[in-house]
Amino acid sequence: MTIAQAVQVVAEALAEAGIAEARREAEVLVAAALRVERAYLIAHAEQTLATEQLQRVRGWARRRAAREPLPYITHRVWFYGLELCVGRGALIPRPETELLVERFLSWARQQTFKETPILIDAGTGTGAIAIACLTRAPQWLGVGIDRSHAALRIAAHNRRQLGLEPRLLLMQGDWLRGIRPHSAHAILANPPYVLPDEWDSLAPEIRHYEPRGALLVPAEDPLQPYRTIALAALQVLCPPGLLAVETSPRLAPTLAEALQRWGYPNPHLEQDYSGHLRVVWATIP
């Protein structure tokens, strides 16, 4: 079978499984299975696949048709222009989370620090937020915290791949518990924010494959992770420290009000590229 034929067969299988961008995904899948870039497929459309390559393409296509997310199959995902590794133990970084990175960078550019500034990525997952921030803010050091060992192993792999071992500390922990007062200058977090009544409307890729503990919040107290992080951040941040969190359009207005009650005088709301309220941020007085 040639590369062109393999792409066609996979695209048909994925379309039949109800996958919207079947052709694009087929190209990404075949390219990753052959360990080449997508452009290679066009230039070498008539190349015949080796037996081992064909087996890998078939196996991966079956998994994708069963709605396993492509990044869990290829172990590759792009975030803020960086290629990261991802696996079943960690949430797949989303494009909208890049907004948190943007918020941090534009705030950080306006600050001057006497000492080396430190950011904390609470609930770091693959390490995406901390890694993207540190690659663009070379004077900063970072700490990535997660309660999941599986996620931290993936974050450690990404840290090594991007040469950030000297600048990013990864630790297992419960949000900011035990972090020294006045030890950080920015705290960023994308905590779980899916409500149980939203679960059934999520794509099967999310419901069946991504870690529930990275997604779901209790219906009776959906702001619980934000409250824990925000109250601890009041102690952990050095003024005028930044707290920036990702949330859902449904929770964003309530969260902004709650931040005022918890001691942040002027919370800001930001929309994502689709026009949904997505980021809430504030600085401490």
Ligand X SMILES: C[S@@+](CC[C@H](N)C(=O)[O-])C[C@H]1O[C@@H](n2cnc3c(N)ncnc32)[C@H](O)[C@@H]1O
| Contact residues: ligand X, CB under 6 A | 90-91, 93, 97, 123-126, 128-129, 145-148, 151, 174-175, 190-192, 213-214
Identify which of residues 95 and 285 has a Cβ nearer to ligand X in the complex.
95
Q: Of 252, 282, 248, whose CA–CA distance to 267 is shortest?
A: 282
Among the listed residues 117, 100, 125, 113, the one whose alpha carbon sits nearest the alpha carbon of residue 214: 125
Question: Do 29 and 70 contact (CB within 8 A), yes or no?
Answer: yes
Nearer to ligand X among residue 10 and residue 77 (C-beta)? 77
Beta carbon of residue 237, minimum distance to ligand X (angstroms, whole number): 17
Residue number, 57 or 176, with CB nearest to ligand X: 176
Which CB atom, from 27 or from 146, has the smaller least distance to ligand X?
Answer: 146
Provide the minimum distance between the beta carbon of 56 and ligand X in the complex, in angstroms, as a whole number: 27
Report, in angstroms and rounded to the nearest whole number, the Rg of the chain calculated over CA atoms: 21
Let me know if 100 is exposed, middle or buried by CB neighbors in 10 A (0-12, 13-18, 19+). buried
Reading the block at residue 172, the tokens are 């297992």
Closest CA to 26 of 60, 68, 72: 60
Least distance (Å) between residue 274 CB and ligand X: 17
Among residues 129 and 237, whose Cβ is nearest to ligand X?
Answer: 129
Nearer to ligand X (CB atom), residue 57 or residue 134: 134
Backbone angles phi, psi at 144, to 5 degrees: -110, 125
Q: Of 120, 132, 137, give the one whose Cα is nearest residue 95.
A: 132
Cβ nearer to ligand X, comparing 113 with 199? 199
Residue 255 neighbours by CB under 8 Å, 6+ apart: 223, 226, 245, 247, 267, 280
Strand, helix or coil for residue 153: helix
Strands 168-172 vs 141-146: parallel, antiparallel or unpaired: parallel
- The distance of closest approach from Cβ of residue 24 to ligand X in the complex, given in angstroms and rounded to an integer, is 22
Q: Distance (Å, rounded) from C-alpha 242 to C-alpha 148?
A: 25
CB of 123 to ligand X, least distance (A): 3
Largest CA distance in the chain: 65
What's the closest the beta carbon of residue 252 comes to ligand X, in angstroms?
15
User: In sequence order, what are the beta bridge partners of 180?
Assistant: none
Nearer to ligand X, 213 or 253 (CB): 213
As measured in angstroms, the least distance from the Cβ of 93 to ligand X is 4
CB of 240 to ligand X, least distance (A): 24
DSSP state, 145? E
